[in-house]
Amino acid sequence: MEFSSKLLERAVNEMSQLPGIGKRTALRLVLHMLKQPKEQTFALSEALQTMRNDVKFCKSCHNISDTELCEICSSPNRKEDIICVVEDVRDVMAIENTSSFKGLYHVLGGKISPMDGVGPHDLNIESLINKVKDGKINELVFALSSTMEGDTTNFYIYKQIQDYKVFTSTIARGISVGDELEYADEITLGRSILNRIPFESSLKL
Amino acid sequence: MEFSSKLLERAVNEMSQLPGIGKRTALRLVLHMLKQPKEQTFALSEALQTMRNDVKFCKSCHNISDTELCEICSSPNRKEDIICVVEDVRDVMAIENTSSFKGLYHVLGGKISPMDGVGPHDLNIESLINKVKDGKINELVFALSSTMEGDTTNFYIYKQIQDYKVFTSTIARGISVGDELEYADEITLGRSILNRIPFESSLKL
C-alpha cells in the first residue's frame, strides 16, 4: 500500500499491529478518525495510555482492578472459601454476568501450552497453590476451556494440591440450553448423558 | 458488560466508538494491549495523536499529505490538464496502485447524499469548478462509485461545468477481469456490451 502521508502510514501501521486488524481495516479506522472531531481521537489515545500505565492487577486474584485488591476480593458478601479458577479476565466477566457464583476468582492469565512456550511458571499458579496451602479454601472450581491445554492446566494444578484437604470440581459440560440434540457433537452429548442429574434438582434451577 | 476497572471500561468505550468495533472486539483489543509491552500502546496512541494533529490536506487536490501541496500535485511528471475526480483518499491509493493514470486527482471528500445530509457545499466541489474555470483543464475523469449518490454528484458537477471547454469522461463499467459472464449482474453485463471496444485496442492493454 502506498501512502501519501508518512503520518497516516505510521498510524495505520501501529493500528494494524492489533490482532484481527489488517492494513485495510486500520486505514478505514484511521480515515474515520480524521473525519471526526480531533477531541475524539485525543480521548481514545489518552484513555489507552492511562489504561496501559495505571491499570493494576488484584494482588490476590490477578483480575484487572483499579485498586490493590479488586472489588470482588474485598467484598464482604463473597464466600472466601470457594475459588473459581479461570484463564482470563473476560472469563471473570462472563461468570459474573450469570450471577450464579458467589465465591472468589483466581485468574491464571493463560493455559499451560508447551507449543506456545507457556509453562506453569508463566502463569499465576504458585499464588493459587499457596492459597490452598494456607488451608482456608474448601473448594476449587476449575472453569478453564475444555481443550488439551485447559485439561493439562487443570491436571497440573490438581497434582500440586491433591495432598491438601480441598474439594475440586469442574464446571458441567453438556448441551447448551435451547440447543437441539441432533446437532450436538458426540463428546458433549455423551458427557451430558454420563453426568446426568436428578430431574428434581433440575427443577430448582 | 460489567468491568472490574474504570480505566479498562473507559478504554473499551473509546475503542468501541470506531466503526465496526463493538464492545466485545474492543475488549479483546484492549486486553491484548495489556499483554504487550507498554511501549507498543504508547507508540499507537502517539501515532494517532500526531496524525490527527499534524496531517494536512493538499490545498489543490484535498488528498491527505504531509506538505501544503501533495506529492502528486507537485510532481513534474504528471499531466496537469487531466483530473480524476474521486470520492475518497482510498480511491486515490487504489488508482495509484494500478499505475494507469498519469494525471492529477481531486478528492471530493464524499458524495452528494441528501439522505445523510450531505449537500454540494459540504464537498470540495467549488475548488474543482474553479480549476475548470481557469481553463487549464482538458479532461475530467469521473471515478465515483456507481450508486445513486455517485451519479447525482457526477451530474451536479457536469451541470456546473458544461459551459466551459472541458472533456468529461467516466471510468468504464464492465465485467471484472477473470470473472465469469454467467455470474455477472444484468446491468453490468448490459453496459459492457453497449460500451464494447474494438478488439484491436483491447490487445494493446
Of B19, B41, B56, the CB nearest to A49: B41
Residues of chain A contacting B53 with CB distance shorter than 8 Å: 38
Backbone φ and ψ for B110, nearest 5 degrees, come out as: 150, -170
Inter-residue contact A98 to A114 (CB < 8 Å): no
Beta strand B139-142 pairing with A82-86: unpaired
pLDDT, position B201: 83
Q: Can you name the CATH fold of B73-171? A: Dna Topoisomerase Vi A Subunit; Chain: A, domain 2 (3.40.1360)
Q: Is the pLDDT of residue B156 over 90?
A: yes
Cα gap A108→A128, rounded to integer Å: 9
Among B41, B19, B17, smallest CA distance to B30 is for B41
Q: Is A120 exposed, middle or buried (0-12, 13-18, 19+ CB in 10 A)?
A: middle
CB contact under 8 A, A31 and B90: yes
Residue of chain B whose alpha carbon sits nearest to that of A6: B66
Residue A196 has pLDDT above 80, yes or no: yes
Domains of chain B, by residue range, sit at 6-54, 73-171
Residues paired with B38 in a beta bridge:
none
Measured between CB atoms, which of B4, B72, B90 is closest to A71? B4
Among candidate residues A147, A197, A3, A149, the one with its CA nearest the CA of residue B64: A3
Give the minimum alpha-carbon distance from A194 to chain B in angstroms, rounded to a whole number. 34
Rounded Cα gap, residues B193 and B159, in angstroms: 27
- Asked if A55 lies within 8 A of B17 by C-beta distance, the reply is no
User: Residue B135: its pLDDT value, please?
Assistant: 87
Q: Which one-letter amino acid corresponds to residue A20? A: G
Q: Is the pLDDT of residue B47 over 80?
A: yes
- Enter the DSSP assignment of B176: P
The pLDDT value given to residue A31: 92
How far away is chain A from the Cα of B113, in angstroms, using its nearest Cα? Answer: 16
Mean pLDDT of A34-52: 93
Report the pLDDT value the prediction gives residue A177, as an integer from 0 to 100.
Answer: 87
Interface A-B: count of C-beta contacts within 8 A: 169
Residue in B1, B17, B46 nearest the CB of A93: B1
The whole-angstrom separation of Cα A133 and Cα A127 is 10
**Domain with residues A74-171, CATH architecture:** 3-Layer(aba) Sandwich (3.40)
pLDDT of residue B181: 87
Q: Which three three-digit cell numbers place residue B19?
A: 466503526
Cα–Cα distances in Å, from A99 out to A71, A95, B2, B20, B178?
Answer: 15, 7, 12, 30, 55
> Can you tell me which residue has the cell 464466600?
A79
Torsion sign (Cα): A106, A108, A109, A110: negative
Q: What is the pLDDT of residues B132-141, one digit of tens each?
A: 999 889 999 9
Q: What is the mean pLDDT of residues A46-68?
A: 93
Whether A48 and B45 lie within 8 Å, measured CB to CB: yes
What confidence score (pLDDT) does residue A197 get?
87
Contact A20 B25 (CB under 8 A): yes
What is the Cα–Cα distance from B175 to B189, expressed in whole angstroms? 6
Distances (CA, A) of B23 to A64, A95, B19: 17, 17, 11
Q: Does the beta-carbon distance from B38 to A53 stay under 8 Å?
A: yes
Average pLDDT over residues B146-161: 92
pLDDT confidence bin for A202, thresholds 50/70/90: confident
Q: What cell numbers appear for A180 in the block?
A: 437441539
Q: Which residues contact B113 (CB under 8 A, 6 or more apart)?
A: B149, B152
pLDDT at A205: 72
> Cα–Cα distance between B200 and B205 in angstroms, integer?
10
Each residue of B59-79: pLDDT tens digit?
999 999 999 999 999 999 999
The β-bridge relationship of strands A167-170 and A139-142 is: parallel
- Judging contacts by C-beta atoms under 8 Å, the chain A residues touching residue B93 are 1-4
Q: Which amino acid is at B45?
A: S
Phi, psi of A155 (to 5 degrees): -65, -40
The tens digit of pLDDT for each residue in A112-128 reads 999 999 999 999 999 99
Given its phi and psi angles, is residue A140 left (phi above 0), alpha (psi -120 to 50 degrees) or beta?
beta
Give the position of cell 440447543: A179
Q: Please, what CATH class does the domain formed by B6-54 belong to?
A: mainly alpha
Q: pLDDT-derived band of residue A1, with 50, 70 and 90 as boundaries?
A: confident
B3: pLDDT confidence band, cut at 50, 70 and 90? confident
pLDDT at A95 over 90: yes
Alpha-carbon span B143 to B171, nearest angstrom: 6
Q: What is the pLDDT of residue B205?
A: 72
The pLDDT of residue A158 = 93
Q: Which residue of A has its CA nearest to B19?
A: A29
Cα B77 to Cα A114, A153, A163, distances in angstroms: 57, 63, 80
Residue B33 pLDDT grade (very low, low, confident, very high; cuts 50, 70, 90): very high
The radius of gyration of chain B's CA atoms, rounded to the nearest angstrom, is 22
CA nearest neighbour of A14 among A40, A49, A38: A49
- For residue B130, with 0-12 CB atoms within 10 Å meaning exposed, 13-18 middle and 19 or more buried, which class applies? exposed
| Cα–Cα distance, A138 to A103 (Å, whole number) | 11
**Inter-chain touch A34–B64, beta carbons under 8 Å:** yes
A161-168 contact pairs (CB < 8 A, 24+): A161/A129, A161/A132, A164/A132, A164/A133, A164/A135, A165/A135, A166/A132, A166/A137, A166/A138, A166/A139, A166/A140, A167/A138, A167/A139, A167/A140, A168/A139, A168/A140, A168/A141, A168/A142
